[in-house]
Structure 1
Amino acid sequence: MLNTLRKIVQEVNAAKDLKAALSIIVQRVKEAMGSQVCSVYLLDAETNRFVLMATDGLNKRSIGKVSMAPSEGLVGLVGSREEPLNLEDAASHPRYRYFAETGEERYASFLGAPIIHHRRVMGVLVVQQKERRQFDEGEEAFLVTMSAQLAGVIAHAEATGSIRGLGRQGKGVQEAKFVGVPGAPGAAVGTAVVVLPPADLNVVPDRSVDDIAAELELFDKALGWVREDMQELSEKLATQLRKEERALFDVYLMMLEDAALGNEVRKVIRTGQWAQGALRQVVLDHVNRFELMDDAYLRERASDVRDLGRRLLAYLQEERKTTLVYPDNSILVSEELSPAMLGEVPEGKLVGLISVTGSGNSHVAIFARAMGIPTVMGVVDLPYSKIDGIKLIVDGYHGEVFTNPSDLLSKQYAEVVEEERQLTEGLDALRALPCETLDGHRMPLWVNTGLLADVARAQQRGAEGVGLYRTEVPFMINERFPSEKEQLATYREQLQAFHPLPVTMRTLDIGGDKSLSYFPIKEENPFLGWRGIRVTLDHPEIFLVQTRAMLKASEGLNNLRILLPMISGTQELEEALHLIHRAWGEVRDEGTDVPLPPIGVMIEIPAAVYQTRELARQVDFLSVGSNDLTQYLLAVDRNNPRVADLYDFLHPAVLQALQKVVNDAHLEGKPVSICGEMAGDPAAAVLLLAMGFDSLSMNATNLPKVKWLLRQVTQSKAKELLGQVMTMDNPHLIYSTLHLALRNLGLGRVINPASNIQA
């Protein structure tokens, strides 16, 4: 069954559209299970009815005509109960409903499985047989597995607009929603521009062309270049390979002949497909055919064909480098976005970013937040190679992407975009004003930085210091560890830019989802692995060089603060303090006269929450890393879109931990700040003010909103609100209570503008 399933999945994935995919499924499942009927019913969201969309065994004329509500028939029962139904005699079931046009009265046994994608019922997959019998466990498991595969196929079809009105005329393309991880806040409505990694056939999109002759000429050129490459390679390896091994190059050359691959690709180009799309279609078709073969040797030939396809594609992409067109309101989509891709877009054209892989902490997400571009990362189910040129909505607040949005949804999001623009303009006037509550409480607002580009934005927004400078960013954009001299220059630039305001530099925090290409850390579970202070204590040479560079950079400025990440106990802190004192001694011995800067500890591991007082006694300040603390307290990887909705910094456990940290730090007479997404959320900032945090540090983009809101409330009102939510046991209830209270005070305008959209 497993082998059969693999073959069906391959065939379905190669299908040109949903109709073809459904036909393959009903045909293959019927064969595999030896049943007389296999049918697929899809739920039409507009009419809320299950419509027969494909069948092998029932009357084909009933496709698109037979439908039932969730309260009708056995199909409706499977869909509404969201579980399989296995019946020996379907007609005797009280929910059985007879449709004369299907001719199904002859079939006694019935097995149905719901098709569900991300908790949404999309349809029902059914097999039937004439004789009365109970389908066995293996058959039931096979059908459930098949329906799970089908769910992804249908979701992709919705996204690309190939489901149109489920067989009825006149209805537009369906809207589909895909969930990822918020990368940068904001919303955008625009057109998808798919940027492809070099020479990856699987992600080449379909694209129509008018100039067929130009595409044919381009393909013929690529063929010629690959032929030359093959001959050169064969000659180059002549002395290293035996004659029979070199025969592989002859096989490649034969494949390139007109009668083989070349001719097939040309045929597809003549239908109006661009050369790259035609090549993908033909090569993957051959690859799939080889992979389905039972003979192991022939199965391996699939990789030869794929390799040849990649070589041809590389040349086609090289020739087509400059042809990517960026319309107004471009939304860049890629399997893995890179900062270089952002640089390719003409200024003023880019409104949103979508990355299929990656996290909210990836390099691109940091760039996007600095540039204020709404971004969604980790949209794993998005069929990105198929959506080039279609209309999209990016919701960077919720981490959602909408393909083919309805006019109503587009209008709602366009209003959000305009509201955001006006709000940003209005908030600029606050730059020179202090962040002070109506009853006179001062709350310093600091920024998180990592790039020099952040500096100007932070200063434009009126930041009062840097609460977190991510020193790993300069390491990430290097191809080797930067030297002490290089680090000194980078740190000096930051310290000077903000002087005399304080700059808190976190020591190198790599590991988890932040890797260095020249210092790879491969682990089963990187978030619970070798990261942060654990790496630098194991490599004192890295830690000492960095600390010395920081200390030297602060000479004459004296606005440096050093912050230690991922501290889980006093032993690690003592070791780190020992190294800092050693570096300080060395620097002074070399003649650089700098005072020892304030040293702080990040509270981001649950163990540190319970040792706050012990840690506070040994340092000058504490800083809570709300992102990591939330993920560790809730055991949720915040970069995993499958569980992203469980990651919530308003969870009662998180709020209680934060209050404990503030209370314990203040008992030791030490200030405590908080950096991370939570500090930049205006509504959450009200609670942090009430808890007694001494400063908040956030992305520069969020700073004006937080300042505006905190200037509109009193500290006493904030404390009243905190007292109310601290008795609650549900993050959703806390969220709605908080937002309702702020709206009632007339302060709803800076809270997530997209929160009212019902999609």
Structure 2
Amino acid sequence: MLGILRSLVQEVNSARDLTEALGIIVSRVQKAMNTEVCSVYLLDPVSNRYILMATEGLYPQAVGKVSLAHSEGLVGLVGSREEPINLEDAPSHPRYRYFPETGEERFRSFLGVPIIHHRQVLGVLVVQQRENTRCFDEGEEAFLVTVSAQLSGVIAHSEATGAISGLSLTGEQAHDVSFNGVPGSPGVAIGHGVVVYPAADLDVVPDKLTTDINQELALFQSAVQAVREDIEQVAERLTSRLRPEELALFDVYLRMLSEEALPDEVRNRIREGFWAQGALKQVVQHYISHFEMMDDHYLQERAVDIRDLGRRLLSYLQEGEQKDLNYPEKTVLVSDELTPSMLGEVPRGRLVGLVSVKGASNSHVAILARAMGVPTVMGLVDIPVNQLDGKELIVDGFDGRIFSSPSPDLRSFFQTIRDEEREIDRGLEALRDLPCETTDGHRVPLLVNTGLMTDVVRSLSHGAEGIGLYRTEVPFMIKDRFPSEQEQRQYYRDQLEAFAPSPVTMRTLDVGGDKALTYFPIEEENPFLGWRGIRVTLDHPEIFLVQVRAMLKASEGLNNLQIMLPMVSNISEVEESLHLIYRVYHEVREEGFEIHMPKVGVMIEIPAAVYQVRELADRVDFLSVGSNDLTQYLLAVDRNNPRVAGLYHSYHPAVLQALVRVAQDAHAAGKPVGICGELAGDPGGALLLMAMGYDSLSMNAASLPKVKYVIRSVSREWAVRLLKDVLLLDSPHVIKSCVDLALRNAGFGRYLRPHQTKAASTTPLASQVLSQN
């Protein structure tokens, strides 16, 4: 059964569309289980009915025509109970529903298992048998459950591919197909997708049609001829150095390039209307799956040769191709993994949104996107990215969602959000030079998180009172080597000068986890619990010492530098870091620099630090909570993983209780405590943090005006009452709703993030069911 399952999964993965995938499933499962009928019913999100989509054994003319209500018949019972149902005499069951057009009256035994993907029932997989004495045994039931679990993602992906192409399960027009990811940069963008991809990667080549078949045939023929000449030249150069049996590999490549082999099949696909690159990908992937399914090890290895040959052909087809990409006036750049260079290729003024299948909210591209003010969604799962080329897309950077083929109503809704955001930003400009102070006189400094000089420009224009978190890893990420002391010193000087005399808090190098340096790779099975933050720099004091030396020298004459240590979990880490900082301080002064000893603080980011606040406060000048990481570690949820994004919630009772404790313990020790993270930039979250007693709030520049407006409009007493109310609640969603309701009742509804008010309710059932989260 394992061998059959492996072969089945490979075949289905190579299917071109949903219809082909389902046909493979019913055919192979029927044969494997030696049963007379295997059928797949899929739940249509539009009508909320189960539709017979494929069958082996029932009348084929019933496919696409027979449907059942959501809870109708045995199929509906399997779906509603979300568990297998195994019956020896199905017609005698009270929920049995007979459809004469299927011819199923001949079959009595019934085994149905649900097809579930990310908690959503997609359909039901059914096998039936004529003999009334047969009851499918436990092994057969387990096999069918395994098949369903293994293939649910493929089915969901295929459904979404069809929907993106504009078709529902019933063949009707599909709109508002939604995919969930991770917010990379806030805002809303409406434009057309332009898919870009790294060179010579077959897996990411989009499936596009061509209007000039002859040109594509000529391009492909030229690529075949170029690869053939390359292989002949390499073989000739190596003739004297290789044995005949080793040289035979080149003959294999040349035979595969002969007219009646791979090239002929690619040309046939091109004549069907596919562009050359897409046709090549389809044929090569078909060959690869065919060889990988073979039992013979030698033949399995030929899949590697096919893949290599496909890449060689693709590289010639792609020569100059992406440089001639057509970027529409409103371009949403889409890629399996966006790079800064891809952003640079888009003409000025045309880039409105970004979508990256891979990547996280702290990736280099996300940081650049926030600095540029471009709405961005990262980390999408199971999305058929190649299908998004040329499609109209809505990028919801607030909630981390994209919509394909939006309906007029949905487009109008998000256009309204975008217009409101611009109007609000213009209306809040008058607050820039006003203090952030409650109506009863409580002062709360608002600081910003920065990484690039463009962040500084935006921050100053929004009235920031200093930098609460300068991510020093950004200068390291934009280099292909460690920046020198002089280079670092210039980066730091720019930040310090821009805000002098206001404080600038610089976090020492924080790499590891989801922040990687290409020239200093850290490969771990569990990077978030591994070598990151202060652990890396203490293990490499040469990096730490150079960085601190650059910071201190950059502060000369300004003296507004504060140094912050990330990912602290032990008192010994603080003591060792302080020893190194004091050492550098004295060395720099001996070199003749007139500097003051900066304040040194620690970040409270992990549970261990929460319970050591008083001990940490005895050794440092200030504390700052990194709420994003603290939430992640308290809840054991990777905040960049869209599969579990629904479990990550800054308003979780455990998170709020931890934040209250940190503020209380820090003040009991007589030390100031600030906070930086998404919660501080949320108007409701900012009010709760102010009520807890946090001395400063640090956030992205875009969030600052709204937070300032809300804080200036309420009394601290009002915020304290709200905090007391929510601390009695035990659900993050109820807490969030309570805070939002309080803000709306106070007249601040328009300053909530759009998805927190009405966006979620506008998403039709179709997009909810097809949502790949």
Range of TM-score over shorter length:
over 0.9
* CA contact 1:161–1:174 (8 Å) conserved in 2: no
Q: What residue is the counterpart of 2:472 in the other structure?
A: 471
**Is residue 2:94 matched to residue 1:94?**
yes
Q: What residue is the counterpart of 1:601 in the other structure?
A: 602
Partner secondary structure for residue 23 of structure 1: helix
Give the distance between the partners of 2:138 and 2:446, measured in 1 at CA. 61
Q: What residue is the counterpart of 1:353 in the other structure?
A: 354
Give the distance between the partners of 1:83 and 1:164, measured in 2 at CA. 32
Give the distance between the partners of 1:437 and 1:490, measured in 2 at CA. 35
Partner secondary structure for residue 259 of structure 1: coil
> Cα RMSD between the aligned structures?
1.7
Q: What residue is the counterpart of 1:18 in the other structure?
A: 18
The aligned runs of 1:332-347 (5 Å cut-off) are 332-347=333-348
* CA contact 2:89–2:109 (8 Å) conserved in 1: yes
The aligned runs of 1:492-641 (5 Å cut-off) are 492-641=493-642
Letter of the 1:653 partner, please give it: A
Q: What residue is the counterpart of 1:653 in the other structure?
A: 654
Give the distance between the partners of 1:738 and 1:555, measured in 2 at CA. 45
Question: Structure 2 regions of 5+ residues with no counterpart?
Answer: 764-773
Give the distance between the partners of 1:345 and 1:149, measured in 2 at CA. 39
Change (3 A) 1:589 1:297: same
Superposed CA offset, 1:217-246 (max 9, x none) = 222222222122212322333343222211
* CA contact 1:44–1:165 (8 Å) conserved in 2: no
* CA contact 2:18–2:159 (8 Å) conserved in 1: no
Partner secondary structure for residue 640 of structure 1: coil
The Cα of 1:317 is off from its aligned counterpart by 1.4
Q: Name which of structure 1's ranges 477-486 and 723-732 shifts more when overlaid on structure 2.
A: 477-486
Partner secondary structure for residue 662 of structure 2: helix
The Cα of 1:57 is off from its aligned counterpart by 0.5
Give the distance between the partners of 2:410 and 2:432, measured in 1 at CA. 34
Give the distance between the partners of 1:134 and 1:124, measured in 2 at CA. 19
TM-score under structure 2 normalisation?
Answer: 0.95
Give the distance between the partners of 2:195 and 2:318, measured in 1 at CA. 14
* CA contact 1:160–1:387 (8 Å) conserved in 2: no
Q: What residue is the counterpart of 1:319 in the other structure?
A: 320
Letter of the 1:15 partner, please give it: A
Give the distance between the partners of 1:23 and 1:161, measured in 2 at CA. 16
Give the distance between the partners of 2:124 and 2:317, measured in 1 at CA. 42
Change (3 A) 1:441 1:716: same
Partner secondary structure for residue 161 of structure 1: helix
Q: Name which of structure 1's ranges 576-585 and 636-645 shifts more when overlaid on structure 2.
A: 636-645
**Is residue 2:106 matched to residue 1:106?**
yes
Q: What residue is the counterpart of 1:383 in the other structure?
A: 384
Q: Name which of structure 1's ranges 549-558 and 707-716 shifts more when overlaid on structure 2.
A: 707-716
Superposed CA offset, 1:138-183 (max 9, x none) = 22122122223443233223323358776656x3125433222222
Letter of the 2:728 partner, please give it: T
Looking at both structures, which has the greater relative contact order when contacts are Cα pairs under 8 Å and sequence separation is at least 6?
A: 2
Change (3 A) 1:130 1:754: same
**Is residue 2:61 matched to residue 1:61?**
yes
**Is residue 2:37 matched to residue 1:37?**
yes
* CA contact 1:159–1:387 (8 Å) conserved in 2: no
Superposed CA offset, 1:337-356 (max 9, x none) = 11211111222222222221
Give the distance between the partners of 1:110 and 1:41, measured in 2 at CA. 14
Give the distance between the partners of 1:100 and 1:211, measured in 2 at CA. 48
* CA contact 1:49–1:68 (8 Å) conserved in 2: yes
The Cα of 1:58 is off from its aligned counterpart by 0.6
The Cα of 1:570 is off from its aligned counterpart by 1.6
Superposed CA offset, 1:367-407 (max 9, x none) = 12222222221112111122222232222222222333333
Give the distance between the partners of 2:2 and 2:343, measured in 1 at CA. 42
Letter of the 2:747 partner, please give it: G
The Cα of 1:91 is off from its aligned counterpart by 1.2
Q: What residue is the counterpart of 1:296 in the other structure?
A: 297
Give the distance between the partners of 2:398 and 2:658, measured in 1 at CA. 25
Give the distance between the partners of 2:272 and 2:49, measured in 1 at CA. 37
Partner secondary structure for residue 433 of structure 2: coil
Give the distance between the partners of 2:461 and 2:3, measured in 1 at CA. 60
* CA contact 2:17–2:162 (8 Å) conserved in 1: no
Give the distance between the partners of 1:522 and 1:598, measured in 2 at CA. 34
Give the distance between the partners of 1:20 and 1:359, measured in 2 at CA. 34
Q: What residue is the counterpart of 1:690 in the other structure?
A: 691
Partner secondary structure for residue 618 of structure 1: coil
Partner secondary structure for residue 382 of structure 2: coil
Q: What residue is the counterpart of 1:2 in the other structure?
A: 2
Letter of the 1:415 partner, please give it: T
Partner secondary structure for residue 228 of structure 2: helix
* CA contact 2:391–2:404 (8 Å) conserved in 1: yes
Q: What residue is the counterpart of 1:48 in the other structure?
A: 48
The Cα of 1:64 is off from its aligned counterpart by 2.1
Partner secondary structure for residue 261 of structure 2: helix
Change (3 A) 1:637 1:484: same
Q: Name which of structure 1's ranges 217-226 and 105-114 shifts more when overlaid on structure 2.
A: 217-226
Q: What residue is the counterpart of 2:769 in the other structure?
A: none
Partner secondary structure for residue 468 of structure 1: strand
Give the distance between the partners of 1:409 and 1:118, measured in 2 at CA. 24
Q: Name which of structure 1's ranges 669-678 and 404-413 shifts more when overlaid on structure 2.
A: 404-413
Superposed CA offset, 1:622-652 (max 9, x none) = 1111011111111111112121111111111
* CA contact 2:610–2:662 (8 Å) conserved in 1: yes
Give the distance between the partners of 2:735 and 2:329, measured in 1 at CA. 40
Give the distance between the partners of 1:399 and 1:3, measured in 2 at CA. 39
Superposed CA offset, 1:282-312 (max 9, x none) = 1111112111222211111111011010011
Give the distance between the partners of 2:372 and 2:140, measured in 1 at CA. 53
Q: What residue is the counterpart of 1:422 in the other structure?
A: 423
Superposed CA offset, 1:651-688 (max 9, x none) = 11111111111111112221111011111112111111
Letter of the 1:109 partner, please give it: S
Q: What residue is the counterpart of 1:75 in the other structure?
A: 75
Of all paired residues, the percent bearing the same amino acid is: 65
* CA contact 2:71–2:79 (8 Å) conserved in 1: no
The Cα of 1:364 is off from its aligned counterpart by 1.3
The aligned runs of 1:652-731 (5 Å cut-off) are 652-731=653-732
* CA contact 1:158–1:174 (8 Å) conserved in 2: no
Change (3 A) 1:139 1:191: farther
Letter of the 1:61 partner, please give it: Q
Q: What residue is the counterpart of 1:374 in the other structure?
A: 375
* CA contact 2:381–2:643 (8 Å) conserved in 1: no
Give the distance between the partners of 2:592 and 2:246, measured in 1 at CA. 66
Letter of the 1:307 partner, please give it: D
* CA contact 1:413–1:754 (8 Å) conserved in 2: no
Superposed CA offset, 1:19-63 (max 9, x none) = 222111111111111110011111122222111111110111222
Change (3 A) 1:481 1:375: same
Give the distance between the partners of 1:436 and 1:537, measured in 2 at CA. 40
Letter of the 1:739 partner, please give it: D
Q: Name which of structure 1's ranges 391-400 and 489-498 shifts more when overlaid on structure 2.
A: 391-400
The Cα of 1:136 is off from its aligned counterpart by 1.9
Change (3 A) 1:239 1:582: farther
Letter of the 1:753 partner, please give it: P
The Cα of 1:270 is off from its aligned counterpart by 2.0
The Cα of 1:722 is off from its aligned counterpart by 0.7
The Cα of 1:740 is off from its aligned counterpart by 0.4
The Cα of 1:584 is off from its aligned counterpart by 0.5
Instruction: State the aligned residue count.
Output: 758
Letter of the 1:121 partner, please give it: V
Give the distance between the partners of 2:405 and 2:159, measured in 1 at CA. 8
Give the distance between the partners of 2:214 and 2:168, measured in 1 at CA. 37
Partner secondary structure for residue 518 of structure 1: coil
The Cα of 1:76 is off from its aligned counterpart by 0.9
The Cα of 1:71 is off from its aligned counterpart by 2.7
Partner secondary structure for residue 209 of structure 1: coil
Superposed CA offset, 1:111-138 (max 9, x none) = 1111122222121110001113221222
Partner secondary structure for residue 307 of structure 1: helix
Q: What residue is the counterpart of 1:452 in the other structure?
A: 453
Give the distance between the partners of 1:347 and 1:427, measured in 2 at CA. 27
